[in-house]
A and B are shown apart, each in its own frame.
Chain A
Amino acid sequence: MYSLLYRILPGGKVTKVLLLIALAAAVLALLFFLVFPIVDSLIPEDPSING
């Protein structure tokens, strides 16, 4: 899967690695600012917890 991604990316080794870093950063941003806040609000209530 990831090897396929690496092969699809254009350019030489340096370009590929830079593109991978950019992709990873984009995925991280998506998780941190969109996905995780939504997940946090969906986690069910545990009445015994107020940690």
Chain B
Amino acid sequence: MGKRTAPKRITALSVIGELLITAGVVLLLYVGWQVYINDPVVANRQQIQAVRVQPTTPEQKQFSQISKNLKQGKVFGKLYVPRFGGNYQRLIGQGTIQAITLNKIGPGHYIGSEWPGEVGNFAIAAHRTSHGAPFNKLDTLTTGDLVYVETNDGWFTYEYRRTKIVDPSDIDVISQVPKEFEGAIQGGRYMTMTSCHPKWSNKQRIVVWLELKEQRTRLQGPPDSLASRLDE
């Protein structure tokens, strides 16, 4: 071993420097936490909640009766997207406020857009990345894919129609008959899923449109194509 050097003097400058370096490292750690730790943790939590919670209220009220007074963040339904992975389930909350719905519950219903099964457009949004990223794979939906929505009233099967990348200002995409949605007609029963695009960016939006294919009541039970997946 070499000879011991006298301990360096600790100056104010060296303390400030080390604090700044530490702050930088902590900021990077925060980003890493959001991406690699918090995201899968939240996604897992959302899946478990969705599997456990039944959207049906004990009173079995008709959904049309409760939908008018739904508060922000109130869970009213469940979303099943087989394309996102075997047993993908998420709760759907009312409203698209991040702190209340999108960061916690998952997908959120655009207030003012229609309810599942109705004539018009049932529109929901969710994070593409971070906070569980429920719509991370939204770009993988393709022709023939089915998406299921469950509420007190029963099950609604929507079939994939179209995907488009638009600007965030293009709010017409969630209107009853979106102009960009070729083939959409007045009186159609549509569903819209929106998220950010590209991943990790807020620059654009990815929009997926679907059309109602089948509607089943609680008594009729879930559609066969969904029931067979749930049993797996």
Contact = CB atoms under 8 A, between A and B. Distances in A.
Interface string A1-26: 11110010000000000000000000
A2 to B, nearest CB: 6
Contacts of B127: 50-51
A49 B10 CA distance: 45
A16 to B, nearest CB: 14
A40 B98 contact: no
A1 B168 contact: no
Interface stretch (B43-51, B73-81, B192-200): B192-200
B126 A51 contact: no
Q: Interface size class for chain B? A: 20 to 34
A2 B98 CA distance: 39
B99 A45 contact: yes
Nearest to A6: B7
Contacts of B8: 3
Please classify the interface of chain B as helix (H, G, I), strand (E, B), loop, or mixed, using the class held by over half of its residues: mixed
B97 A45 contact: yes
Given A41-B99, A45-B98, A50-B98, A1 B10 contact: yes
> Among B29, B96, B97, B127, which residue has the most Cβ atoms of chain A within 10 A?
B29
B19 A1 contact: yes
A40 B29 contact: no
A50 B7 contact: no
B69 interface: no
Contacts of A39: 30
Contact of B10 (A4, A28, A32, A41): A4
B7, B33, B126, most chain A CB atoms within 10 A: B33
Contacts of B99: 41, 45
A51 B130 contact: yes
Contacts of A37: 38
Contacts of B128: 51
B225 interface: no
B30 A48 contact: no
Nearest to B14: A1
A28 B29 CA distance: 9
Nearest to A48: B168
B30 A36 contact: yes
Contacts of B38: 36-37, 40
Q: Which 5 A-B pairs have the closest CB atoms?
A: A51-B196, A1-B18, A51-B202, A1-B15, A36-B33
Interface of B: 7-8, 10, 14-15, 18-19, 26, 29-30, 33-34, 37-38, 96-99, 102-103, 125-130, 168, 194-196, 200-202
